[in-house]
Structure 1
Amino acid sequence: MSGDRADAVRVRGLGKRFELVSAVEGVDFAVPTGAVTALVGPTGAGKSTVLRIVLGLRRADTGSVEVTGRDPAAIGAVLNPRGLHPARTVRDHLWCHAPVAGVSRRRVNVVLDETGMSPLADIVVAQLHPSQQTRLALATALLADPPLLVLDDLFAGADGVERGWLQALLRRHVDRGGTVLVSADTLADVVSAADQLVVLSEGSIVWQGTPAKLRRGHPDRLVVAAAPSIALATALAAQGFTDAVMRPDGRLAVAEVDEPTIRSIAEAAKVRIADIAADPIHPDRVLASLTKPRRHRHSPPAPAAYAPAPTSYGMPR
């Protein structure tokens, strides 16, 4: 997973129980220095528990965590809840935390600018939108300019524009030589910013790798209505396009081939094409196929998840 880069964090065989419930079990992954690593999974998958153990806020029952540079100033964290005093202004909140971070008030102005919070510096925290409160928590984490950011549920409540801004900030931190470990409930939040993904379900890792590897395993497809479909599948396979799936309605779903190529092969094979439609796979359809909601006898069943309209992965890394 980490290639030839040193690891900023190494998690080995992590396990944690709360009474009769196993929160995490056998969790093992590395966070390479100079990369964005995303822990992804539905609510209750164990993401927050893992991050709190990494930060030393919880003690694991089994396994170990190694963090390079245990100096608190080397780690900036955003947790949920955000830990903001509702009666303080944005600037006052940062001024209170600056001495703890060992920085001057000049640094406060820098992080206000970096997080886009300067226009809101005199606004009381209670009046901020949740996404603005997340930005303030992020500004607090950045005060000491830490090399490692550990960010829990960073994208909660973020719309598309805010999500893009957060993703860009993570990439800027890495481009400056920093490292990020971030959790998210959805792949759509992190897939275009992450260098590696660690997918959790019911406290265990069910998949890990790069976004590009995930895309290869779950590609976008073109759905072809052809007569006969089996003849088209045979002709495509003969040309090396073997990833084709026959759907129940008789249409052929083909991956890693463009429409002109399909039409050219169909014409040569004397197969008539009635229609070709794009079927981009949304990242969270992939996540749903890899995971399941946390269910145990102490919790009610989770509500059905909202399924957004299919969109492409974005830019895989």
Structure 2
Amino acid sequence: MQETAPPGPGRITVEGLGKKFGPVEAVRDLSFTVEPGSVTGFLGPNGSGKTTTLRMILGLVGPTTGRALIDGVPFAELESPGKVVGAVLEVQGVHPRRTARAHLRAGAAAVGVPDSRVDEVLGLVGLAAAADRPAGGFSLGMNQRLALAAALLGDPQILVLDEPGNGLDPDGIAWLRSFVNAFAASGRSVLVSSHQLAEMELTAQRLVVIDRGRCRFDGAVSELREGQGGRVLVRPADPARLAEVLAAEGITEVDRISDGRLAVGGADAVRVGDLALGAGVAVYGMTEERVGLEQMFLRLLAGEEVA
């Protein structure tokens, strides 16, 4: 079990968390920390234990072993939970005849905030123009925004979001990315579960990857990239000469591509460019090809080394 970080505003600490449903062990000895000021992506295949973990963090499911703490205490012990944590685990049903404003006013009363906060959150999620429309006419994406608005009513320090991009169009996804990053940049924290790996690569600063209830990776996106075998695609005037120069420097992962380019592994573009310049080999184009998050994710699940 990792050493417990000192309690602080906006911190989630998961320590040795485990959950069994009868003979099924959904989560096993899971430990990680979500720090203020960052977006933490929570990734894993279907059935990996992501939603069960989120529900334990929010006190909706009791753990079999370990504990989940928010600012140093279990969720149930928070004095005003709605003002500490805002959560969207699934899009909740809204009465089809109830307007977005009326729905949020009921939520505001439950959290203990004034009705003026309703107009604020409607503006934050881009639903101000639809505030007085019946929710029965909302698209899935609009319902996602309404659920997020409800989570924001208490002006929380933490957002816990389960697949928040479902139903959003590309503009909506870009808006969500900007929103959660701005939320985190204000010193608060976001824990977001998603299957949209390419989007998480653009959104999250840290990743927690689980499979079959166990943690497979916990760290910065840059750490996951280390040792991932990206390559440089270079178009030299003399491919054979450049290959010789690279080999002399111990860079032997060089393949000739049919269009005359070289694919170089084990070196970045700056290194390849400097060696070409030093050898007097003209270069007409060069790009770096990085391994995407989806490929890294699949390697993790296949049990390969990722760093």
Assess same fold via TM > 0.5: yes
The one-letter code matched in structure 1 to 2:240 is A
Superposed counterparts of 1:149-298, under 5 Å? 149-218=159-228, 220-224=230-234, 226-227=239-240, 231-237=244-250, 245-246=253-254, 252-254=263-265, 257-258=268-269, 262=272, 265-266=275-276, 278-291=288-301
CA distance in 2, matches of 1:249, 1:140: 54
**Equivalent position of 2:151 in the other structure:** 141
Within the candidate set 86, 92, 98, 1:88 is matched to 98
Helix, strand or coil at the partner of 2:167:
coil
- Measured on the aligned residues, the alpha-carbon RMSD in Å equals 3.1
Q: Output one character per residue of 1:97-142: Cα deviation in whole Å (capped at 9) or x when no partner.
A: 1100111211100000111110111222232222221111010000
Letter in 1 for 2:269: D
Shift of 1:198: 0.6
Contact between 1:90 and 1:124, CA under 8 Å: does it hold in 2?
Answer: yes
Q: Secondary structure at the match of 1:108?
A: helix
Partner residue of 2:137? 127
Deviation of residue 88 (structure 1)? 2.0
Spell out, residue by residue over 1:154-205, the C-alpha distance to the aligned partner (whole angstroms, 9 max, x if none): 1223343222211211122223332211111133222333232111122211
Deviations 1:227-269 (A, max 9, x none): 37863542454xxxx5x6356979533355227x635524655
Q: C-alpha deviations, 1:38-74, integer Å up to 9, x for none?
A: 2112222211111000000001111111211623121
Partner of 1:109 in structure 2?
119
* Matching residue's letter, 2:133: I
Assess, with a 3 A threshold, how the Cα gap between structure 1 residues 222 and 88 changes in structure 2: closer, same or farther: same
> Are 1:27 and 2:30 an aligned pair?
yes
Give the aligned residue type for 2:297. L
- Could you tell me whether the CA contact under 8 Å between 1:223 and 1:254 is conserved in 2? no
User: 1: CA distance between counterparts of 2:183 and 2:284?
Assistant: 49
In structure 2, C-alpha distance between the alignment counterparts of 1:163 and 1:136, rounded to whole Å: 15
Letter in 1 for 2:172: E
Change (3 A) 1:159 1:282: farther
Query: Any idea what SS the aligned residue of 1:190 has?
Result: helix
Rounded to whole Å, the distance in 2 between the matches of 1:80 and 1:246 is 48
Deviates more, 1:199-208 or 1:75-84: 75-84
Structure 1 position 77, deviation (Å): 0.7
* 8 Å Cα contact 1:111/1:139 also seen in 2: yes
**2:110 matched to 1:97?**
no
* Structure 1 residues 211 and 159, CA gap change in structure 2 (3 angstroms): farther
Bigger mean CA offset, 90-99 vs 135-144? 90-99
Question: Is the partner of 2:202 in helix, strand or coil?
Answer: coil
**1:233 and 1:252 in contact (8 A); partners too:** no
Aligned residues: 286
Would the alpha carbon gap of residues 216 and 85 (structure 1) be closer, same or farther in structure 2, given more than 3 Å must change? farther
Q: Secondary structure at the match of 1:231?
A: helix
Q: What is the distance in 2 between the residues matched to 1:269 and 1:284?
A: 37
The answer to whether the 8 A contact 1:186-1:284 is kept is: no
| TM-score, with structure 1 as normaliser | 0.78
Q: Which one is further off, 132-141 or 10-19? A: 10-19
- Which of the residues 66, 85, 89 maps onto 1:75? 85
Distance between the aligned counterparts of 2:94 and 2:253, measured in 1?
51
